A and B are shown apart, each in its own frame.
Chain A
Amino acid sequence: MKHATMILLLAAAAAAQDLTPRATPQDGPIAIVHATVHPVSGPSIEDGYVLFDGGVIKEVGRGTPPAGARAIDGRGKHVYPGWIAAFTNLGLTEIGAVRATRDDREVGDLTAEVRAAVAVNPDSTLIPVARSNGVLSFAAFPRGGLVPGRASVLSVEGWTWEEMAVETDAGLVVEWPAPRPPPFRGEEKDPEKAMEEVRRNRDRLEQAFLEARAYAAARAADPGTPEDVRYEAMRAALDGKRPVFLVAHDYDQIAGALAFAARWKVRPVIVGGQDSWLLAEEIKAAGAAVIVDGVHRFPKRSDSDFDEAFKLPARLEAAGVSWCLASGEGASNERNLPYAAGRAVAYGLPRDAAIRAITLHAARVLGVEARLGSIEPGKDATLIVTDGDPLEIPTGVVSAYVRGRAIDLSSKQTKLYEKYRSKYVR
């Protein structure tokens, strides 16, 4: 008892440090049985089981699993793949107002060479809070400038960022210049000046891609050409091996970003995508995907439909666009990701599409589909068990596994709750 109190006190004293214990690697086959299994890649299975071993899913089926596995009773429970936060600064920031805790914006407008993974703090207190509600993987994005760097996909469990990493170079991030920046405190930029800045920035982007390609050609022809970390970092995207994440919201931004991607023959993913429903045909024709950055946003204009942002997912789904959903909440509240999906269901999105948008399709857009996003043999055993419909707020996540490891769902927040509850309830 004394020991436990001691741990609690330590937890409270450590301001921005996660002290929840790490999970141990899976040490034998586990089967969650008699649960409703939602593989996402196929129809849901009543009285189903999921068998996993060595961190990898082995079998999914109905009824009784093959013998030999440690059975966990899932009666009345639901099993889903872990949620994937497709666009976040989780791990890169701790306290928004404290500069020392922010690692998501490098200095300079063109910093393709930086990658998110190496700055992800495994002991961030924000990570256990996200995973407590089922967010088991996340794509950390560097931001700001024109080419802020490369995004990384990580899981929420591991001793180091290396152990957490699923894909350190998930793609190149480009912030597409905004032609009509939203007014700040009611003051708008001079439109002429704003357009001039947009033109200049577009030119700089163009120039950066030109130079990177010229550099690649020179290196290929003459291996003695000195290495340039910037252009090396852009290579995978330029070669089409990795996508380019183009952060674009407005119609002109998205149209411009798509044209840019076509010219450079890169694989575009539109991030944000407020107006993407207006360009659904173009997006499909370009083979592009969209990461919708949350649905809890303001409509575009004062006269826009009040539910414009809520129904964006339904519109994209109906149009046959490849898309997935991010929470739009920021690092501290990634836990609310399923509620963004639920909200989209209230405004016309089929529920199974909502689940896909935060699991399988997110994995697909991020290029980690081989390991994450669905409950299928061969994929990582990264999944959650819930006591009801996880898109409904009161539902709880009762247990979670990352690569087969049963993870601790407590956090600094649960410990503070327990500590102060004992002040009133003895």
Chain B
Amino acid sequence: MPRPFLPALLFLVVLAPAQEAPPNGPRRVDPMWHAIVGATIHVAPGKTIEGGNVVLKGDRIAAAGTEAPPFGARVWDGRGLHVYAGLIDAYVPVEVEATEQRHWNPRITPWRVARAIDDETATELRALGFTAAAVAPSKGILRGRASLVSLAPREEDLSVPRPAVYAEGVWQSAGFDVAERAPGPPRGRPREGYPTSQMGAIALLRQSLLDGLAADERLLFDTTDELEALRACKIAREAGRGAVVVGCGTELRRLDAIAKDGLSFVLPLAFPEPPDVSSVGAADAADLRDLMTWEQAPTNPRRLDAKGVTVALTTSKIGKRDRFFRRLAEAMRHGLSEERALAMLTTTPSRLLGADDRMGTIEPGKLANLVVAEGPLFAREPVVREVWIEGRRHEVTSPLSPAAGAWTLSGGGLPSPLALEVKRKRRGAYEATLSSGDRKAEAQRVSVVADRIGFSFDGEPFGRRGRFTLSAVAVADALDGQGVDPDGARFRWGAARGPAPGAPPVPAPGPADAPESYGTPFGPYALDALPEGPERLIVRGATLWTCGPEGVVENGELEVRAGKIVYAGPARGGAEGATVVDASGRHVTPGIIDCHSHTGISKGVNEAGQAVTAEVRIGDVTDPDSINWYRQLAGGVTTVNSLHGSANPIGGQNQVNKVRWGVAHPDGMHFEGAPPGIKFALGENVKQSNWGDDHVTRYPQTRMGVETLMRDRFLAAREYAKGHERRDLELEALAEILAGTRLLHCHSYRQDEILMLCRLAEEFGFTIGTFQHVLEGYKVADAIRDRSLGGSAFSDWWAYKVEVQDAIPWNGALMHEVGVCVSFNSDSDEMARRMNLEAAKAVKYGGLPPEEALKFVTLNPAKQLKIDHRVGSLEGGKDADFAIWSGSPLSVYSRCVATWIDGREYFSLEKDKAHRERIAAERLRIVQKILGRPKEREEEGRGEGKPPARSETWHCGECGCRGE
């Protein structure tokens, strides 16, 4: 039952220009009454009428069915043709000039409106069967309003309506664009270099939405990797907005989390190029995650759809649009059905755009927007004959000449027997081939105009030296014409039509040759499910380094129930119903806690666009895919403090994470209940001392300025805390420091700056969380003890820049001796894998008892992060986070054997072995598949390059902490 046409009051419909230009000559009358008869009508996904008719009157569909068309309509022969509702592209980014800057940041332009599409893009889209598209302003963070527009060409004759804007402001376009580089303008001037990081873009977006920009508008997020989709969802939810995500093509890598988020997607058919495996060395360098992404990408639309995610498709983001149907054929070969594909291009986008009352199906009353194809549209190389837009026909491909086809020639001077095949090429030109048995000649100078054909060919293959020239007219099933042979003799010839070739088949949903399941996170070492946590677990026989009041216990016993430690002490015996781990001869320690990490942070660990960025949050950009998480598990690490870099005096908010490799959602790694914190930094990095001579204008350039800037922001935060009209994310975070609810972790080196911050904290009445690096901490250990929760240092790094010349490896022990709570940290994804050995350096330098040294990477960092009620020691009531070692954790000869978090075994050498076998088999299989893929698929992915979101490793230089 077609819905009656209702004038959509919500829409600003512009179907005719306000004023018509006077016609040049007599007016033209177009009755706009058409009938396409005898065609296969795809009324709606899953609903097809064979031999049906569609009647168009004015700009609307009047009828669709099998009834005879009305007398008076212009009749179009639709035999052999397939008619579909005009396709809708739900995302076409367009450049829209910002005429004025109304916001301090040039990437916030919500008032921009996209209402037009350029002719070239519209032509490309019509050629693919599209009749409407949603255009959205490109570039920026809050980019502007999108509109649904007609793809009808601009007519020169102004009496014909110009392309219509079906609906304006369908959604507000948003994205995570960053500044190309951070200039160094002082605070207070236009901060055009902000943001430089994804977390900065998110903070700016959140603040803009809080400020009421684009109020009440639905959001459209343009994303470049699958994690951004999850971030978009959080932002939209916080702002209470509906949201649609323009995907990137690799959503399948976080399928479960994305499906759970319930967002709608506009998906590009972006399938990456296969990694280079063309030589031994190249194949050796190809990463399994990239290999898998190549293999699985074509399953993306099908997988999301099957999970119940609303999916529309777009032709954007695939380099060249004319690849679209080849890509779609690939997706269909990987299981996407024709019915679902049609829905993703018609009914779903019309619904997403709120235009399903007027487009999306072939039903009376809807706009006369159609696509007509020669044969099925969902083929590898479909031929779009024409599109109809608002009742007007726009030809894409001229009808096939009757001269096309297979012919058997006969006549005068022609070799005999001789066969001719005439085929239309992609752009409407024709090619012809002559053959006799296995001898062949390509025809030259083939000209086909309507029913006439002319060409020449070389007689040599057929035993006649020289060239023939032939021309003929096609009449019904015969060719009739004249020819000139190589000697110049004219002759009459003819041809009878051979059997017609069949229509190209619709790509059948294939048996998926890509594995159906691949675990989480996508790539190597994936888990099919999170490790099971035994209800009752007993680890016995090991030397327990409890780091608690029990000290080191030989032949100890650790009991865990439901993820919590219930006992850690001398062996007791009795283990009814328990899973027992025999750890005889082994050592068990609390899970290692790394108090300074930059592992698994997406797209920028520093927001370097401003000197003060308290508003940005590391927790917004957690990357659970980084392989370094797994590698750190293999080093016994269970908790890390993920910190912002040290490019700014006041950096971003940190995130304490548990290394829960394999969780569905990135936020599943977040240490629930850990007190929030923030990164501050002092010294050379924030003064930009080692950034080169271009960076000499941002305030501060001296340690004097650092103090001043910090005091000024604390004063502002104190005022803010007294009362404010507007919620300010930066001042809010700073006010929390003053209120004692947010821990300040400060990158620091020299004793003067350390003392300065201690005095500042005294002045504003709060306790500092930690001093990080704190390599001259030993010079002012008493002040650190009195004013902070502790110092977190490198064990023995020094001499990489001027402010660390006085670093000494006794720093940790000396501070400890004075009463500072000390931890050692890695600040390095690599060193994080061996923090137990870093702890051993506190024995070497300063002679700490071994267990006290081990506390530098277990209990002490837990205290510093105020999570010691949960982790850091093996004590009843704490989380069952522990590591099992083959020998003393402080011995260089020991290996980590297993790592448990929340009573679940996330790593073990045995499991690792199984992973390795699986990885080797998968590598082999996919490399073989790439090498053996059919030639026609070699073009796939060209132009899109590598898949998005490789996991990043931040080296110390990039995070700016060590500063070289």
Residues of A at under 8 Å CB distance from B?
12, 15-16, 94-98, 125-126, 179-180, 183, 185-186, 188, 191, 250-252, 255, 275, 278, 296-303, 305-307, 331-333, 335-336, 339, 342-343, 345-347, 391-396, 413, 416-417, 420-421, 423-425
**Partner of B805 from A95, A343, A424 at Cβ < 8 Å:** A95
What are 25 contact pairs spanning A and B, CB under 8 A?
Answer: A15-B802, A95-B802, A97-B684, A97-B690, A186-B952, A188-B946, A250-B285, A252-B279, A255-B281, A298-B830, A302-B287, A302-B627, A303-B923, A306-B833, A307-B634, A336-B796, A345-B892, A392-B892, A393-B843, A394-B840, A413-B809, A417-B814, A420-B779, A420-B814, A421-B814
Shortest distance from the beta carbon of A294 to any chain B beta carbon, whole Å: 10
Residues of B at under 8 Å CB distance from A?
276, 279-282, 284-289, 523-525, 603, 627, 630-631, 634, 684, 689-690, 778-779, 781-782, 796-802, 805-806, 808-810, 814, 817-818, 829-831, 833-834, 837, 840-841, 843-844, 890-895, 912, 916, 919, 923, 946, 950-953, 958, 963-964
- Interface of B: prevailing SS: loop
Q: Which residue of A lies closest to B291 (CB)?
A: A303
With A188-B946, A303-B524, A420-B814 as known contacts, state yes or no: A396 contacts B844, CB within 8 Å. yes
With A185-B952, A416-B806, A417-B808 as known contacts, state yes or no: A394 contacts B834, CB within 8 Å. no
Bound state CA distance, A191 and B281, in angstroms?
14
Shortest distance from the beta carbon of A210 to any chain B beta carbon, whole Å: 25
Q: Is the CB of A306 within 8 A of B912?
A: yes
Q: Is the CB of A298 within 8 A of B963?
A: no
Q: Which residue of A lies closest to B689 (CB)?
A: A97
Q: Is the CB of B953 within 8 A of A346?
A: no
Contacts of A299 in B (CB 8 A): 631
Contacts of B809 in A (CB 8 A): 413
Bound state CA distance, A424 and B785, in angstroms?
13
Contacts of B280 in A (CB 8 A): 251
Q: Is the CB of A301 within 8 A of B288?
A: yes
**Partner of A343 from B779, B892, B950, B951 at Cβ < 8 Å:** B892
Contacts of B843 in A (CB 8 A): 393-394
Q: Is the CB of B958 within 8 A of A185?
A: yes
Q: Is the CB of A97 within 8 A of B288?
A: no
Q: Is the CB of B814 within 8 A of A424?
A: yes
Shortest distance from the beta carbon of A139 to any chain B beta carbon, whole Å: 20
Bound state CA distance, A298 and B522, in angstroms?
20
Bound state CA distance, A186 and B829, in angstroms?
15
Bound state CA distance, A180 and B287, in angstroms?
13
> 5 closest A-B pairs (Cβ-Cβ)?
A342-B892, A303-B524, A252-B281, A97-B801, A303-B288
Contacts of B797 in A (CB 8 A): 332-333
Q: Is the CB of B808 within 8 A of A413?
A: yes
Contacts of B833 in A (CB 8 A): 306
Bound state CA distance, A255 and B796, in angstroms?
37
Shortest distance from the beta carbon of A425 to any chain B beta carbon, whole Å: 8
Contacts of A339 in B (CB 8 A): 837, 892
**Partner of B834 from A125, A188, A296, A413 at Cβ < 8 Å:** A296
**Partner of B837 from A186, A393, A396 at Cβ < 8 Å:** A393
Contacts of A251 in B (CB 8 A): 280-281, 284-285
With A16-B805, A275-B284 as known contacts, state yes or no: A302 contacts B834, CB within 8 Å. no
Contacts of A421 in B (CB 8 A): 810, 814
With A97-B690, A394-B840 as known contacts, state yes or no: A180 contacts B800, CB within 8 Å. no
Q: Is the CB of B951 within 8 A of A302?
A: yes
Contacts of B689 in A (CB 8 A): 97
Contacts of B634 in A (CB 8 A): 306-307
Contacts of B841 in A (CB 8 A): 393
Given contacts A186-B952, A307-B634, A346-B895, list 12 more A-B pairs with CB under 8 A: A16-B805, A97-B802, A185-B958, A252-B282, A255-B281, A332-B797, A333-B796, A342-B893, A346-B892, A393-B890, A394-B844, A424-B817
Shortest distance from the beta carbon of A411 to any chain B beta carbon, whole Å: 9
Contacts of A255 in B (CB 8 A): 281
Q: Which residue of A lies closest to B946 (CB)?
A: A188
Contacts of B779 in A (CB 8 A): 420, 423
Contacts of A416 in B (CB 8 A): 778, 806, 808
Shortest distance from the beta carbon of A281 to any chain B beta carbon, whole Å: 14
Contacts of B808 in A (CB 8 A): 413, 416-417
Q: Is the CB of B893 within 8 A of A302?
A: no
Q: Is the CB of A183 within 8 A of B814?
A: no
Q: Which residue of A lies closest to B918 (CB)?
A: A303
Bound state CA distance, A211 and B831, in angstroms?
44
Shortest distance from the beta carbon of A125 to any chain B beta carbon, whole Å: 7
Shortest distance from the beta carbon of A196 to any chain B beta carbon, whole Å: 15
Contacts of A186 in B (CB 8 A): 603, 950, 952
**Partner of B894 from A301, A332, A346, A413 at Cβ < 8 Å:** A346
Bound state CA distance, A252 and B854, in angstroms?
42
Q: Which of A126, A331, A347, A421 counts the most B-chain CB atoms under 10 A from its CB?
A: A421
Shortest distance from the beta carbon of A342 to any chain B beta carbon, whole Å: 3
Contacts of B964 in A (CB 8 A): 96-97
Shortest distance from the beta carbon of A97 to any chain B beta carbon, whole Å: 4
Q: Is the CB of B818 within 8 A of A424?
A: yes
Q: Is the CB of B288 within 8 A of A298?
A: no
Q: Which residue of A lies closest to B803 (CB)?
A: A97
Contacts of B892 in A (CB 8 A): 339, 342-343, 345-346, 391-393
Contacts of A392 in B (CB 8 A): 840, 891-893
Q: Which residue of B lies closest to A423 (CB)?
A: B779
Contacts of A424 in B (CB 8 A): 781-782, 814, 817-818
Contacts of A96 in B (CB 8 A): 799-801, 964
Q: Which residue of B lies closest to A417 (CB)?
A: B810
Bound state CA distance, A396 and B809, in angstroms?
14
Bound state CA distance, A246 and B73, in angstroms?
82
Contacts of B844 in A (CB 8 A): 393-396
Bound state CA distance, A413 and B286, in angstroms?
45
Shortest distance from the beta carbon of B888 to any chain A beta carbon, whole Å: 9
Shortest distance from the beta carbon of A277 to any chain B beta carbon, whole Å: 12
Q: Is the CB of A343 within 8 A of B285?
A: no
Contacts of B951 in A (CB 8 A): 302
With A183-B950, A255-B281, A420-B779 as known contacts, state yes or no: A302 contacts B523, CB within 8 Å. yes
Contacts of A95 in B (CB 8 A): 799-802, 805
Q: Which residue of A lies closest to B888 (CB)?
A: A392
Contacts of A413 in B (CB 8 A): 798, 808-810
Bound state CA distance, A155 and B919, in angstroms?
46
Q: Which residue of B lies closest to A395 (CB)?
A: B844
Bound state CA distance, A257 and B51, in angstroms?
70
Q: Which residue of B lies closest to A190 (CB)?
A: B945
Q: Which of A126, A298, A301, A345 counts the most B-chain CB atoms under 10 A from its CB?
A: A301
Bound state CA distance, A345 and B841, in angstroms?
19
Bound state CA distance, A96 and B817, in angstroms?
31
Contacts of B837 in A (CB 8 A): 339, 343, 393
With A306-B912, A336-B796, A343-B892 as known contacts, state yes or no: A98 contacts B782, CB within 8 Å. no
With A393-B837, A393-B840 as known contacts, state yes or no: A303 contacts B810, CB within 8 Å. no
With A97-B690, A306-B634 as known contacts, state yes or no: A332 contacts B281, CB within 8 Å. no
Shortest distance from the beta carbon of A80 to any chain B beta carbon, whole Å: 16
Q: Is the CB of B830 within 8 A of A296?
A: yes
Q: Which residue of A lies closest to B809 (CB)?
A: A413
Q: Which residue of A lies closest to B684 (CB)?
A: A97
Shortest distance from the beta carbon of B844 to any chain A beta carbon, whole Å: 5
Bound state CA distance, A111 and B934, in angstroms?
49
Shortest distance from the beta carbon of B836 to any chain A beta carbon, whole Å: 10
Shortest distance from the beta carbon of B307 to any chain A beta carbon, whole Å: 26
**Partner of B893 from A183, A336, A346 at Cβ < 8 Å:** A346
Q: Is the CB of A347 within 8 A of B895?
A: yes
Bound state CA distance, A185 and B286, in angstroms?
18
Contacts of A188 in B (CB 8 A): 946
Shortest distance from the beta carbon of B2 to any chain A beta carbon, whole Å: 51
Bound state CA distance, A306 and B896, in angstroms?
12
Q: Which residue of B lies closest to A126 (CB)?
A: B799
Q: Is the CB of B830 within 8 A of A297?
A: yes
Q: Is the CB of B285 within 8 A of A180?
A: yes
